[in-house]
Amino acid sequence: MSDTAFTPRVFSGIQPSGNLHLGNYLGALKRFVDWQGKGVETVYCMVDLHAITVWQNPADLRHSTRELCAGFIAAGLDPEKSILINQSQVPEHAQLAWIFNCVARMGWMQRMTQWKDKAGKNQQNASLGLFAYPALMAADILVYHATHVPVGEDQKQHLELTRDIAIKFNNDFGVDFFPVTEPVIEGAATRVMSLRDGSKKMSKSDVSDMSRINMTDDADTIAKKIRKAKTDPEALPSEAEGLEERPEARNLVEIYAALNEQSVDQVLADVGGKQFSEFKPMLAELAVEKLAPISSEMARLMNDTSEIDKILSRGAQRAREVTAPVLRKTYDIVGMVPPVET
Ligand code: AMP
Ligand code: TRP
């Protein structure tokens, strides 16, 4: 089966579950912006249906969805160049997800590490939606026939499952309908770690706010969090191998490299031999320079949420021109009776 027959299209999503952070920015959002203007269609989604697989307070969810849209735009996504959508406003995502629930196997879902982490010890009490989460993610991607999906490292397994679903659907029905999607996991910071513990990824759900840099943090807060970030007592090495057993040091160097659009080797060529007392202020200055304009633009956009709502409505209209025919065709392949004019 060839996947070259499909026109390239980029799709990705972020959950509006609050606290958009530096990991989301470097692992995902900044990459989304890089794809814009490469001559491929780009679709970026606030995945509220995914967010509610764990409890969300309704008022907070609405706020976080709008704030995430503000974050997308402030980071450089242009609603004229990219289609920006809110998942629940494009019903074909959930409709295709149902079909995929019937294609995917229980065993595939059970192997997902995110399911195991999020459900924890009490799987019986987790929502059915949390278990089926990857089938909805596959639907998000495949309802656009998207070929490229920029994400952070933690989403790799879900994208492999998306490929498995596309392949099984095509095989089951003897068609070449869904493309086999390429994960795009690139850049110096595909896995940004907690500032307090170099063995844990930076996450929205970490109880310690000091563990992450939020996109809404002001300059003083960003500088304070970097100053207090956990490190070791050694000076920085001159080559990347010197970071191997030093997760906290590696994390800060990778953050610096990604923010400055350099490789880790280039950064170390400049800062190798320096103590953290010297490197941390450099990193803080760089982070403030890159992030403060984004957070102030987010705050400005949030002053007029009606404009954000219009952008999302327009995005949904444009998206449905793609998704409605793909869903209809899927239903035809599966054997559903088409509606007729009456
Ligand atoms: P989420 O916040 O879970 O919806 O994640 C949205 C995007 O950000 C996905 O592409 C993730 O892979 C990416 N992401 C989340 N946390 C990190 C992290 N600590 N480092 C790099 N990428 C991340
Ligand atoms: N599962 C992704 C995350 O938590 C978010 C997501 C949902 C997504 N649908 C997607 C990412 C489709 C890429 C493509 O990070």
Query: Cα 313 vs. chain centroid, distance in angstroms?
Result: 21
Confidence bin at 5 (pLDDT 50/70/90)? low
pLDDT exceeds 90 at position 37: no
Strand order in the sheet with 9-14: 83-86, 41-46, 9-14, 148-150, 182-184
Which among 98, 97, 118 is positioned nearest to 17, based on CA atoms? Answer: 118
| Entry pTM | 0.95
Name the helix (H) or strand (E) containing 46.
Answer: strand 41-46
21 Cα: distance to centroid of ligand 1 (angstroms):
9
Dihedrals phi, psi of 332, to nearest 5 degrees: -60, -45
Among 30, 201, 280, 290, the one annotated catalytic? 201
**Residue 214 per-residue DSSP state:** B
Cα angle value 202/203/205 (rounded, 5°): 150
**Residue 12 per-residue DSSP state:** E
Ligand 1, residue 50: give the atom nearest the CA: 4
- Residue for token digits 């814009």? 36
Which among 13, 49, 19, 15 is positioned nearest to 31, based on CA atoms? Answer: 13
Give the residue whose CA is nearest to atom 15 of ligand 1.
24
Ligand 2 probe mutation, 24, 151, 192, most atoms within 8 A of CB = 151
Which among 22, 15, 28 is positioned nearest to 67, based on CA atoms? Answer: 15
- Angle between helical axes of 156-173 and 128-142 (0-180°, round to 10): 70
Confidence bin at 310 (pLDDT 50/70/90)? very high
CA distance 51 to 5: 33
pLDDT tens-digit map of 151-199 = 999 999 999 999 999 999 999 999 999 999 988 998 889 999 999 999 9
CA distance 67 to 13: 14
**Residue 145 per-residue DSSP state:** T
**Residue 237 per-residue DSSP state:** P
**H-state helical runs in the chain:** 22-24, 30-35, 48-51, 58-74, 92-101, 106-110, 113-119, 128-142, 156-173, 219-227, 247-259, 264-271, 276-301, 305-334
Contacts of 190 (CB under 8 A, 6+ apart): 27, 152, 153
Ligand 1, residue 151: give the atom nearest the CA: 10
Active site residue 204: yes
**Ligand sitting nearest the alpha carbon of 152:** 1
Active site residue 118: yes
Neighbours of 318 (CB within 10 A): 16
Residue 209 is which amino acid?
A: D
When mean pLDDT is compared across 54-68, 182-196, 274-288, 307-321, the lowest value belongs to: 182-196
pLDDT tens-digit map of 69-122 = 999 999 999 999 999 999 999 999 999 999 999 999 999 999 999 999 999 999
Ligand 1 probe mutation, 130, 133, 154, most atoms within 8 A of CB = 154
Among 30, 38, 116, 118, the one annotated catalytic? 118
